[in-house]
Amino acid sequence: MTDTHAHYLIVGSSHAGREALAAIRMADPKGRLVMLSREGRMPYSPTILPYVASGRSQPDRVGLADAEWFTENAAELVLNAQVVAVDPAARAVRLADGRRWTYDKLLLATGAEPVVPPVKGLDRVRYHVLRTLDDALSIRERSTQARRAVVLGAGLVGMHAAETMAAAGLDVTMVEMRPHVLAEYFDPKASALIRQTFERHSVRMMMGRRLLWAMETVPGSCRLGLDDGTELEADLLLVAAGVRPAMAMLADSGITIDKGILVDDRMRTAAPGIWAAGDVAQARGFLTGVPVVNGTLPEAVEQGRIAGMDMASDPDLIPYGGGIPLNTYGFFGRHAMAVGTAAVPEGDGIETVTDEGNGQNGYCRIVLKDNRLIGLAAIDRVMDAGILWRLILRRTDLSPVRQQFLSHPLETARALMSRGWR
Amino acid sequence: MPSQDTIRFIPERCDGCGDCMTACAKAKGGASRISIVGSGGGGWDIALCRQCGDPKCVANCPAGALDKHYGSGIVGWSQDLCVDCHLCTIGCAYGGIVFESAAGHVQKCDLCDGTPACVPACGKGALEHLSAAARLHETHADKEDLFVPGLSACQGCNSELLIRHTMRRIGRNSVVAAPPGCIPGMGTVGYNGQTGAKMPIFHPLLTNTAAMLAGVKRQYERRGKDITVVALAGDGGAVDVGFQSLSGAAERGERILFICVDNEGYMNTGMQASGSTPFGSWTSTTPVGTVERGKSTDGKYLPQLMMGHGCAYVATASTAFLDDYHTKLEKALAASRTGFAYLHVHAPCPTGWRFPAAMTTEVCRRQVESNFVTLWEFTAEDGLRFTHAVDRPRPLSDYVGMIGKYKHLGNAEIERIQASVNRRVAFLKGFCRQPSAAE
Amino acid sequence: MNQHVNSSRMIVCDGNEAAARAVVLARPDVVSVFPITPQSSLVESLAQFVADGALGAELINAEGEHSVLSALQGACLAGARTYTATSGPGLAFMFEPYVRTPGLRLPMVVSLVTRDMLSPQCVWGGQQDAMTVRECGWIQIYCEDVQEVLDTVVMAFKLAEHKDVLLPVNVCHDGNYLSYGVSRVELPAAELVDQFLGQPEVNWHIALDPERPMSVDPLTGGTGPGGAASFVGYRKSQVRGMAAALEVFSDIHAEWGERFGRHWAPLVEEYRLEDADIAIITIGSMTGAGKDAVDAARDCGQKVGLIKVKTYRPFPREAMIAALGKVKAAGIVDRSVSFAWDCGPLHQDVMTALFASPLRLPLVGFIGGLAGADITATHFERVIAETTRAAGGNVPSSPVWLNEHD
Ligand SMILES: Cc1cc2nc3c(=O)[nH]c(=O)nc-3n(C[C@H](O)[C@H](O)[C@H](O)COP(=O)(O)OP(=O)(O)OC[C@H]3O[C@@H](n4cnc5c(N)ncnc54)[C@H](O)[C@@H]3O)c2cc1C
């Protein structure tokens, strides 16, 4: 065994990697465990970045795991270690600086990276993305000088960023190709409620528009042209047009990839001894059975744990139940959550029950199929997202409590779960 | 992983009055962190933080705002670090961490620093603050585990738990006897030259455990060595063929601790009935057929017989109440320095009694809560004292209904068991110094 | 007379008391007792010796023989020299721990005050009890008189504890005839016995001792890996210990003779056998009457000798064959019955020994002294007569029951 051989090698130091590490250590206290990160910093979560950008979170206080944690878990963290190639046959990875690590078991938890759309002139203007702490810090710095901000993309990253910029006093405009914000989670009515809140807080919401060109005005600022002819000025341009799995290092590896790295229900890739989890992985979707890249933090945690347990041959492993879109979302003091396919339209065996709370008391949309919950979205309603997630995963038959569930989803769901584990 | 305090909910006692929520809201200022919800049909259920050992809310937090404190066991939340993303609420399957709009952030139970306000507020006894595990952890975690890590016990068997706890407590300066039965059967004494424990341990005969231990102890006493001498016997080796030697040793006041692990039959050899098997039980020698319906007589209640033996200490225990067991183990060990100490531990057998392996502790609990099993201790000086008196026992059917070996029983038969349970409780109360002092 | 003999003293006592006095000399650590006829006065003596401080042992008054032996097993595993005595039904009740003792290689000494077995209900002497357990792996020694009881009980500790043997020993003395028969015996000096026996070392091989933690008697055998070999290993070493006992016991007797001046035949005693035509074979207290009968027959010119079996388990095959080689016929007197062979157990053993040698000679079986019946010189006259006839080719096909008409 050499200095650069690990029994367990984890690439990526965020949620999926951390959870896998902890799970491995639960089952195997001994095998050498090394985590590689391309970052020069201790692990942190991308989800925290909007709050770092806004100044709410201090960059030195957002650690997911400190040195002590690694010591306690008898694991080593190697920073500035960007993996550029994987050689499954040799059970080795190569780093950008030429170093090489060998492994018995490898986990790829490299997450995702921002997608920058091919827009004319975009490469010649200053724009920001938000995936790393450095990104967040540079946005933060720019915010102090900027007056007008444009956010491209009304997904979670863009929405979070837009809100924090608005809160910081910037004049914010959002440009979104699709007609609705957060369209993968919320149905049009819920989306509209969220959008209206943004508008009430003076964020311009330009929905269904596409960016056609960009052009520098003064250094650091630019002008943007949309497909309807609108032109926008931006001192700060954030491109939040989506992410794609960070799997460039697999280019010549022969590992099967699609939109992400394809994995089975134990997070095993097609290559022996290699697992993948989190934003980089493409695992079975719960409702469709088709592999999807989920890209949410709870899924990264779930998959990371499964991968770790499987790597350490933990007998208690329960294979992946399948991915479900889910998120919680706080905005301007309000809160929204969506679990499952909460946005699908009615019909085709799908029943939806919407409670708009007289326009004041929040919003709730329940989606059922065969009397089983498949999705629920809510705004300003107390809901236990975790309980609903499990009701979906367990395909709990709601027939006996259907009426109650529709009228009192929170209490009924709590009672169902409480009975289940009591 | 350390154990922790928790709040236990007993739904049968809850009437949904909401006093706990009021108390919580008052203590914490704002919304209650405990939530009582109707479960339909007039019942009640609960949503409350379980202070999980491996908390998913913590795993889901991107901000480091949630943290499991390994000392107190509490999952703590820091308002300072929280960014209001609410992802923690996706991790929790218990409704234990919830966004409260009035407060503007998530809230969760913190057990009020060890004295939860909700528990005393409940006048119905539906909430219990269980702090034993943490206490036990504090006192026992550092003690050496003397029991073999891999065992061939049946899934769900609580004897392993009992043996591990006991061995940890008594330590290496001991001699342990494990007569034939489930305890050596799971590998406690070992196989073919390999041992199951890091202490002197042996197989006596099923019949002579107490006598052999008496011999061991006498020799060490003669040499002036203080050695703890303990039997881990099944009910067969205590109630039936082992009874004579047990009785003799107790009468002679041999300085030993005899622990009877009562699984109500000969489970190791295929679930035959023993003298301890209760009325109505299916066993392989009291089967259920067209003529017979399980065991036709009540079981012999050995702890009561041991009271008549002039023992230094007699007590009953249940692994659902490990703190109670540890207290008694402590007293029994002390008593075994001056005389005979007897502990009777009830050990429901998932395999032989036919209930799911995951339910063992719940079965133990219901045995006690229905008074099918009573927890008490007895010394000649202080008489009998109930250590976990159950004032409002569950109906016996709550317990019997969980157990496969009783599934053929009709109401009349369950009533018969209920009657004998009631009689036993009344009888035991007669041994209390001041019957009113029974807690 | 040397100094050793000088420091001994003469007393008058019965066999039970002699055994108890021997136990005092052997200084056991733990004695456990339960009374049973005809052993009771033995344990009463022990209890009195303890009460008087003459015997500094832990006395466990157990609630039955089963626990008596079990307590001794525990004590022995903790390093104690141990002793008890039992008889007949008590031995039967003790059987479960009894059969286990040799396998644990626990070097105990247990006196069997022999008694006939129920039923018919009886409380008198006979060797059916001891003979019933002759295949359990215990060493069995039979005594002829009170002095031999005393000497043999002491020697038995040395035999049991010998590292090549390490097996439990039954010293058998006949109920009624030896238990209650009083005679003058010489009591060796305690210090000399101490020197003879040395400190007990009884659990060096297997112990319940926190300073040497081990698992005692884990499940062994079966078809699992190494199980069969392990079990065979234990059994074979037990057989080796048994076989070694013959020589070890002979050496012990030689040493005893040197130290105390009394020379007992350790295995079989040959009495007036040199020029004998026939031999009678005896075991236990009947030997005295047998010797008298031999003397009387010799006086009448009959060439009769006697072979007394002292060590019965392990069976002293070579010694028996050597003795039988001197005669033309033998009459074996058993005080018990082997139901399988319609003869006495000793008879059966002699036959087996003969088969293992080229010798062939007529054997006549006699069964006498059951349930306290006396075997007198008159009975032995008949034994001699029948055996003489057998030497002439007239061998009865089934045993002669000596007390059939008494
Ligand atoms: C601004 C923002 C807001 C978000 N908000 C939410 C939200 O509200 N809810 C939600 O559920 N999710 C949210 N997410 C998504 C969430 O953060 C991710 O789903 C989650 O972080 C995925 O975890 P992961 O471990 O799979 O990957 P990542 O968190 O992306 O971590 C990947 C790690 O791998 C390292 N790495 C990558 N490539 C290499 C390489 N070649 N060599 C070495 N190391 C490498 C990276 O440095 C990083 O440490 C948000 C994401 C962002 C960016």
Kindly state whether residue C322 falls inside one of the protein's structural domains: yes
Q: Which residues of A touch B95 (CB under 8 A)?
A: 384, 386-387, 413-414, 417-418
What pLDDT is stored for residue B439 in this prediction?
Answer: 44
- Position C235 in a domain: no
Q: Which pLDDT belongs to residue A421?
A: 62
Confirm or reject contact between B183 and chain C (CB < 8 A): no
Both C251 and C317 in one domain: the answer is: no
CATH number of A333-421: 3.30.390
pLDDT of residue A419: 79
User: For the sheet containing A363-369, what is the strand order?
Assistant: A326-331, A334-340, A372-379, A363-369, A350-355
Among B40, B60, B81, select the one facing A404 at the smallest CB separation.
B40
Residue C125's nearest CA partner among C373, C308, C402, C360 is: C373
* Per-residue pLDDT band at B134 (split at 50, 70, 90): confident
This prediction's pTM:
0.71
- Residue B207: closest CA among C109, C68, C112, C29: C68
C-alpha B248/C-alpha B53 separation (Å) is: 47
Are residues C252 and C310 located together in one domain of the fold? no
What's the pLDDT score for residue C68?
98
Fold matches, A5-47+61-112+244-311 and A116-241: yes
* pLDDT more than 70, % of chain C: 99
B63 touches B105 (CB < 8 A):
no
In a domain, C406, yes or no: no
* Average pLDDT across chain A, whole number: 94
Digit-coded pLDDT (tens) for B208-256:
999 999 999 999 999 999 999 999 999 999 999 999 999 999 999 999 9
Bridge pairing between strands C58-61 and C30-33: parallel
Segment C246-261, tens digit of pLDDT: 999 999 999 999 999 9
Residue B3's pLDDT band, with cuts at 50, 70 and 90, is: low
The CATH architecture assigned to B144-429 reads 3-Layer(aba) Sandwich (3.40)
State the pLDDT at residue B100. Answer: 87
pLDDT digits (tens, 9 = 90+) for C369-403: 999 999 999 999 999 999 999 999 999 999 999 99
The pLDDT of residue B138 is above 80: no
- Look at residues A376, A335, A411, A356 and name the one whose alpha carbon lies nearest to residue B103: A335
Listed range (A18-22, A161-165, B172-176) with the worst mean pLDDT: A161-165
In a domain, C234, yes or no: no
How far apart, in whole angstroms, are the C-alpha atoms of residue A393 and residue A340?
Answer: 9
Per-position DSSP letters for A220-250, written without gaps between them: T-EEEEETTS-EEEESEEEE-S-EEE--GGG
To probe the interface with A, which of B58, B87, B99 has the most A CB atoms within 10 Å? B87
Q: What integer pLDDT is reported at residue B179 of this predicted model?
A: 96
Does residue A292 contact residue A323 with C-beta atoms inside 8 Å? yes
Average pLDDT over residues C148-173: 98
pLDDT band at B2 (very low <50, low <70, confident <90, very high): low
- Residue C67 pLDDT class (50, 70, 90 cuts): very high
State the total domains in chain C. 2
Q: Which of A360, A355, A276 is nearest to A320 (CA)?
A: A276
The rounded Cα A26 to chain-centroid distance in angstroms is 26
Which of residues 233 through 292 in chain B touch C, CB cutoff 8 A? Answer: 244-245, 247-249, 251-252
Q: What pLDDT digit, counting tens, does each position of C38-57 carry? A: 999 999 999 999 999 999 99
Q: The CATH number of the domain where C13 resides is what?
A: 3.40.50.970
Residue nearest to atom 30 of ligand 1 (CA): A111
Which of A10, A35, A38, A39, when mutated, tests ligand 1's pocket best, judged by the most ligand atoms within 8 Å of its CB? A38
**Is residue B223 within 8 angstroms of chain C, CB to CB?**
yes
Residue B420 has pLDDT above 90, yes or no: yes
Q: Of residues B323 and A268, which shows the higher confidence score?
A: A268
Q: Where are the alpha helices (DSSP H) in C56-171?
A: 65-77, 88-100, 128-132, 146-161
Please name the residue whose Cα sits nearest to atom 6 of ligand 1.
Answer: A47
The strand ranges marked E within C143-227 are 169-174, 182-187, 215-216
List, for residues B91-124, the tens digit of each pLDDT value. Answer: 999 999 999 888 889 999 999 988 999 999 999 9
Whether C190 and C149 share a structural domain: yes
Say what the pLDDT of residue C3 is.
40
Average pLDDT over residues A349-353: 93
For residue B26, pLDDT over 70 is answered with: yes
Ligand 1 neighbours by CB, cut-off 6 Å: A 11-17, 36-39, 45-47, 49-50, 81-83, 109-112, 130-131, 156-157, 160, 246, 249, 278-279, 295-298, 300, 327; B 85, 87
Q: Which CATH class is domain A116-241?
A: alpha beta
CA angle C115–C166–C285, rounded 5-degree value: 25
pLDDT of residue A420 exceeding 80: no
Q: For B351-362, what is the mean pLDDT?
A: 96
Q: What is the pLDDT of residue B438?
A: 43
Residue C117, both tokens: 């077995």
Q: Do C361 and C388 sit in the same domain of this protein?
A: yes
pLDDT number for residue B71:
72
Choose the residue to mutate in A10, A47, A131, A244 for probing ligand 1, maximizing ligand atoms within 8 Å of C-beta: A47
Q: Which residues of C touch B199 (CB under 8 A)?
A: 210, 213
- Shared-domain flag, residues C176 and C317: no
All residues of chain B having their beta carbon less than 8 Å from the beta carbon of residue A56 are: 83
Checking if the pLDDT of B298 tops 60, the result is yes
Judgement on whether residues C394 and C277 belong to the same structural domain of the protein: yes
Nearest residue of chain A to residue B90 (CA atoms): A386
Reported as a single tens digit per residue, the pLDDT across A204-226 is 999 999 999 999 999 999 999 99
Low-confidence winner among A402-416, C3-17, C148-162 (lowest mean pLDDT): C3-17
Which residue of chain A has the CA closest to B358?
A: A421
**Alpha-carbon span C172 to C166, nearest angstrom:** 19
Residue C6 has pLDDT above 60, yes or no: no
User: Domain range holding C346?
Assistant: 268-401
Q: Report whether CATH 3.30.1360.120 matches the domain A5-47+61-112+244-311.
A: no
* All structural domains of chain B with their residue ranges: 6-130, 144-429
Is residue C211 one of the residues assigned to a domain?
no
**Cβ contacts of residue C9 below 8 Å, gap of 6+?**
C186, C187, C189
What pLDDT, on a 0 to 100 scale, did the predictor assign at position C2? 41
**pLDDT tens across C15-32, in order?**
999 999 999 999 999 999
- Residue C115 clears pLDDT 90, i.e. is over it: yes
- Tens of pLDDT, residues C327-368: 999 999 999 999 999 999 999 999 999 999 999 999 999 999
Q: Does A301 lie at the interface with B, CB-CB under 8 angstroms?
A: yes
Q: What is the pLDDT of residue C5?
A: 40
HSE (side-chain half, CA atoms, 13 Å) at C304:
26
Does residue B133 belong to the interface with chain C, where contact is any CB pair within 8 Å? no
Is the pLDDT confidence value at B145 over 70? yes
pLDDT tens, position by position, C264-320: 999 999 999 999 999 999 999 999 999 999 999 999 999 999 999 999 999 999 999
All chains having 3 or more CB pairs closer than 8 angstroms to chain B? A, C
* The ligand 1 atom nearest the CA atom of A281: 26
Interface predicted TM-score (ipTM): 0.94
Q: Does residue C173 share a domain with residue C32?
A: yes
Give the nearest partner residue to A382 out of B64, B98, B104, using CB atoms.
B98
Counting from 1 in the atom list of ligand 1, the atom nearest the Cα of A280 is 26
- Ligand 1: atom nearest CA of A13 is 49
A 317-346 residues with CB below 8 A of B? 326-330, 333-335, 337, 339
- Separation of alpha carbons A198 and A173, rounded Å: 10
Domain range list for chain A: 5-47+61-112+244-311, 116-241, 333-421
pLDDT (mean) for C138-166: 98
pLDDT at site B54: 87
Q: Where are the alpha helices (DSSP H) in A152-219?
A: 156-167, 188-200
**CATH of segment(s) B6-130:** 3.30.70.20
Chains B and A touch (3+ CB pairs under 8 A): yes
User: Cβ A62–B63 below 8 Å, yes or no?
Assistant: yes
Position B201 pLDDT exceeds 90: yes
Torsion over CA: C281, C282, C286, C291 (sign): positive
Q: For the segment B39-74, what is each residue's pLDDT rounded down to a tens digit?
A: 777 889 999 998 888 899 999 999 999 998 877 788
Task: Verify whether the Cβ–Cβ distance B215 to C214 is below 8 Å.
Answer: no
Looking at residue B193, its pLDDT comes to 82
Q: How many CB atoms lie within 10 A of CB A219?
A: 8
* Whether residue C332 sits in one domain with residue C252: no
Query: Please, which pLDDT band fits residue B352 given cuts at 50, 70 and 90?
Result: very high
Predicted confidence (pLDDT) per residue in A109-118, tens digit: 999 999 999 9
Chain B touched by A66 (CB under 8 Å): no
